[in-house]
Amino acid sequence: MTTPAFAAPLQLPSETLPNRLAKAAMTEGMADLQGRPSDDLVRLYEAWGRGGAGLLISGNVPVDAQHLERPGNVIIAGPQDAAAKAALRRLTQAARAGGAGFWIQLSHAGRQTPALVNPTPKAPSAVALALPGKLYGAPVPMSGDDIRAVIRSFAEAAAVSREVGFTGVQIHGAHGYLISQFLSPLANKREDEWGGALENRARLLLEIVRATRAAVGADFTLAVKLNSADFQRGGFAPGESMQVAQWLEAEGVDLLEVSGGNYEQPRMMKMEGLEAADVSGLPASTAAREAYFLDFAVELRKHVKTPLMVTGGMRTAQAMNEVIERDGVSLIGIGRPMVVDPDAPRRLLEGAPSLDRHEERLRLGPGFFSQRSPSKTLRALNGFGALYWQYQQLRRIGRGQAPDMKLGLLKALMDERRAQTAWMAGRARGAAS
């Protein structure tokens, strides 16, 4: 039997990953009220650490406690006390017990901070999210001092991450979070050195990379997650992404993960309407669902030598092999399959031909709440429902329970909203005491 390409080790400048399958970053929301990894989160990463992936990437870890991606994020903002470092070490030890690398994904939500967390988040400009439901507040333009503080925060958090046992750091520059907002001419209307021309809009990302590298040294993996595009007219475009990737290569970034979209155009979550990548040899119905961002990665490979990671939709071993052998992709990100099957990478390594597409069965109701509904509100409800369903499965695994495939999306929506509200209330009580 031929050894699959994804089973081969990947040599990076500062570490060797045992294979080319990575658990992609997925938000967990399972920190304690101090923003430290909870026992449930440690158990979740124990399960993933045993699952066979060569690399685990954490979910969003904000560098600013006022700009969380969601309530329940692990937070590394400023100096960490002994208890926080001990909790982080328990997490890294659990995740790495099976031999995988473990990278922390550092982020700042900017205007995508939920209003429940901060009704007036800081952002490049006062451009609010065009989403229904008032889930996100009115952003306040950042001052130059605010921007410089964010750069320091990323560097400080990365230094703590190295100290507590992570093997690398991934700077989240995609999906509409703060760095991605600076890159987008739709969200960034500034007229100073942080806005306007692409080199100005990319300045925050490049300064964060430089400061982070100085903080962690040359012998620690530094990766960046970058949008191929925002998929919005007038937004961050593929040609601009190519240029930013070249600048990142010049800065010595060790790996680029290719993604795309933001909360207004969530192509990283629901990919309908994207042109299918060329995954030859597969049935058309399968190829249309594989490798959402592969076309861009193939083109990017012509311009940079930096190793590339692609996440989004790949479920068959054949497709994963092809994008490595034919297209020069170095890492395959696996996300939603590992929500219900922590052992998904091991199954592929042991010869399974494909992974289940459980997410395609997630709908709030037949037809009425379908992704093709003309109502933006109903489409948003369906999208959030599917995400919250996944959140509940991660909570179950963290409690040592099996996933509940019969869980309804409406119940998942209500359960997650209650959990987030309770976490914020508990955190407020702690701050007041």
Residue 97: strand, helix, or coil: coil
Average pLDDT over residues 271-280: 32
Label residue 206 by pLDDT band (50, 70, 90).
Answer: very high
Average pLDDT over residues 102-131: 95
Nearest residue to 67 (alpha-carbon basis) of 128, 161, 139: 139
> Domains (ranges, CATH) in the chain?
5-356 (3.20.20.70), 362-433 (no CATH)
What pLDDT, on a 0 to 100 scale, did the predictor assign at position 228?
Answer: 85
**pLDDT tens profile 62-100:** 999 999 999 999 999 999 999 999 999 999 999 999 999
Ordered DSSP codes for 103-130: EEEEE--GGGSBTTT-SS-EESSS----
User: In this predicted structure, which of 145-154, 210-219, 257-266 has the lowest mean pLDDT?
Assistant: 257-266
Residue whose tokens read 């100096």: 79
**pLDDT tens profile 338-375:** 999 999 999 999 999 999 877 666 655 443 334 444 46
* Cβ neighbours around 50 below 10 Å, total: 17
The proportion of the chain whose per-residue pLDDT surpasses 90, expressed as a percent, equals: 74
Chain centroid to CA 368: how far?
30
Nearest residue to 359 (alpha-carbon basis) of 309, 289, 418: 289
Beta strands in 74-159 (DSSP E): 101-107, 122-123, 140-141
Residue whose tokens read 């495939």: 405
- The answer to whether the beta carbons of residues 53 and 332 sit under 8 Å apart is no
Return the half-sphere exposure (C-beta side, CA atoms, 13 A cut-off) of residue 113. 27
Per-residue DSSP letter, 233: T
Cα–Cα distance measured from residue 162 to residue 103, given in angstroms and rounded to the nearest whole number: 10
The one-letter amino acid at 120: T
What's the chain's Rg over C-alpha atoms? 20
Quote the longest CA-to-CA distance of the chain.
Answer: 63
